[in-house]
Chain A
């Protein structure tokens, strides 16, 4: 009798070997940590942000990032900010004059607007903030004096979740269509593949616009959100279905598929347990590599004003403020959302590459050891 405990330290399945290889890739591990932080921020956005996404103060239109001071009268003190006052200079340009007589210390766990933590628990405390009438703008303000930092945090909820939900829907469709197409072959295969090609032959962005145009314009923001998710996932499934279909064509010739047939298993069962699991090492990497597409797709739609609508924030529609070069010139901080998009996309790509390398040795990219 073999003692099972003896085996616990050596990796026994592909997953553990894959995990070990993945950990060797430092950059990918860092990216995983960054993504965890970003998604954590999205979940706790209302607690971490000093203001809500719709809290505005028009006296602070395009207020630059507030300077946080730690020294007052050459003495070290708890971080604080000075009050500022909006004035227009001789050229009618906004100028914020620092008023050194007003000091607002930054307070932790400050009482502010009420929100529902995790959607359930009613809570009033924010991680940090300043007492009214002081306004804290970590990353500056937009035209209506809303805190860009808070809006980026709230926007991350939409921008980050759209990728996950979109990829989930399109991969479900892709795996099912690809699996059926490859397994049955013949006319079903022909029909489904021509369908895929119909989706693939139209340039993605125009198809995105066409679908968006088909969505009624009286939708509320939640409906628009789901409409965008569905539109994006409709674009993504076709290419995946084609690749999965190709893999299934060869996988269905394996002897265990024949064996499963001799035991009289249902076709759908054979597809889901004996064919599709073998495409997973490819699909997992492909999932990671395609999430950025959804995030960018949502951003692109929102950027041109067809996606998430004001006052709701997404990284895309926050960026739409920066469509005018004049505004970028006098308020460059409105480009901050682009940094977050960039960071997220890079992280997903690095992780996707790393996963592909460690899950599928055959696909290992050239030039690496």
Chain B
């Protein structure tokens, strides 16, 4: 088995208040091998997104990581300083959000916002950054990158916005992409296209992807491995085929049932 790009060991996230004993994520462990797509599946409130944000150490101030290790390319993320984390975010780990309309700042063109990431993480000069933006947009399957780059988020269609969001996430060529329900707001045909895009990007850019979703159909098409979460705990994990065809845990079985109906 290939070396793990990211491994989470016994991670526990609690409410940052000594008076409240509530564990939002309870002792979970998961591993993302290099160049693989791992799906994190579960219902609402099961702690999927919180896990994703823990990896970037961007939990809201009300939450804190009370226990565990998050090891990314051999280094424990939790021991890094805030400055080192900033170098890591975007540069090594990128994030794709569920709703690109609110994940883009409405007052700047999308090109400007991709440029911001490049400015922060690369030493390219202005012209090279411009060229890179167009290249990135082309890579995510946009035909007329010049026009799209000048547009404001609200001027783009949902599918285009999601593609631009992905382009922004891969701008500084990270090794890991955390995709938080990237297709939940898209229609079925677009979902398939975005999925294809993730697959090609993985090959072209040597990406690993942590796919946070509740859509098992998506998981079966895309993921190599599945981790099922329920109420802050990992209830089942394994290769996709195995988990989907022979679910062991009751909750996994229920999830699969809902899709079949």
Contact = CB atoms under 8 A, between A and B. Distances in A.
Given A255-B103, A259-B104, A273 B90 contact: no
Interface stretch (A36-44, A261-269, A325-333): A261-269
B230 to A, nearest CB: 25
Contacts of B88: 264
A262 B61 CA distance: 15
B102 A261 contact: no
A256 B61 CA distance: 17
Instruction: Point out which of A258, A260, A261, A262 has the most chain B C-beta atoms below 10 A from its C-beta.
Output: A262
B105 A256 contact: yes
Contacts of A4: 147
A263 B152 contact: no
B105 A264 contact: no
A69 interface: no
A144 to B, nearest CB: 55
B121 interface: yes
Nearest to A262: B95
Interface string A14-33: 00000000000000000000
Contacts of B168: 263
B135 interface: no
B217 interface: no
Given A2-B147, A13-B152, A262 B90 contact: yes
A274 interface: yes
A259 B179 CA distance: 12
Instruction: Point out which of B87, B88, B95 has the most chain A C-beta atoms below 10 A from its C-beta.
Output: B95
Contact of A266 (B86, B99, B105, B169): B86
Interface in B54-110: 56, 58, 61, 85-91, 93-95, 97, 99, 102-108
B120 interface: yes
Contacts of A305: none
A309 to B, nearest CB: 45
Contact of B105 (A1, A12, A261, A274): A274
Contacts of A12: 155
B116 interface: yes
A263 B103 CA distance: 12
Interface in B124-144: 144
B95 A264 contact: no
A12 B109 CA distance: 13
B86 A264 contact: yes
Nearest to A186: B61
A72 interface: no
A256 B116 CA distance: 13
Interface string A227-252: 00000000000000000000000000
Interface residues of B, number: 34
B117 interface: yes
A269 to B, nearest CB: 7
Contacts of A258: 58, 97, 103
Instruction: Point out which of B85, B103, B108, B155 has the most chain A C-beta atoms below 10 A from its C-beta.
Output: B103
Contact of A263 (B94, B102, B144): B94
Contact of A269 (B116, B147, B172): B116
B120 A265 contact: yes
A58 interface: no
Nearest to B103: A259
Contacts of A1: 144, 147
A256 B94 contact: no
Nearest to B61: A185
A254 B61 CA distance: 14
B12 to A, nearest CB: 22
Nearest to A275: B105
A277 B86 contact: no
Given A259-B97, A261-B58, A254 B89 contact: no
A255 B152 contact: no
Contact of B120 (A185, A255, A266): A266
A2 B157 CA distance: 13
Interface in B35-66: 56, 58, 61
B144 to A, nearest CB: 6
B89 A263 contact: yes
B116 A262 contact: no
Given A265-B116, A269-B120, 17 more contacts: A1-B147, A2-B147, A12-B155, A255-B97, A255-B103, A256-B103, A258-B97, A262-B58, A262-B95, A263-B89, A263-B95, A263-B168, A264-B86, A264-B87, A264-B120, A273-B108, A273-B116
29 contacts: A1-B147, A2-B147, A12-B155, A185-B61, A255-B99, A255-B102, A256-B103, A256-B105, A258-B97, A258-B103, A259-B95, A261-B56, A261-B58, A262-B90, A262-B93, A262-B95, A263-B89, A263-B95, A263-B117, A263-B120, A263-B168, A263-B169, A264-B87, A264-B89, A264-B90, A264-B120, A273-B105, A273-B116, A277-B105
6 closest A-B pairs (Cβ-Cβ)?
A264-B89, A263-B90, A264-B90, A262-B95, A255-B102, A259-B103
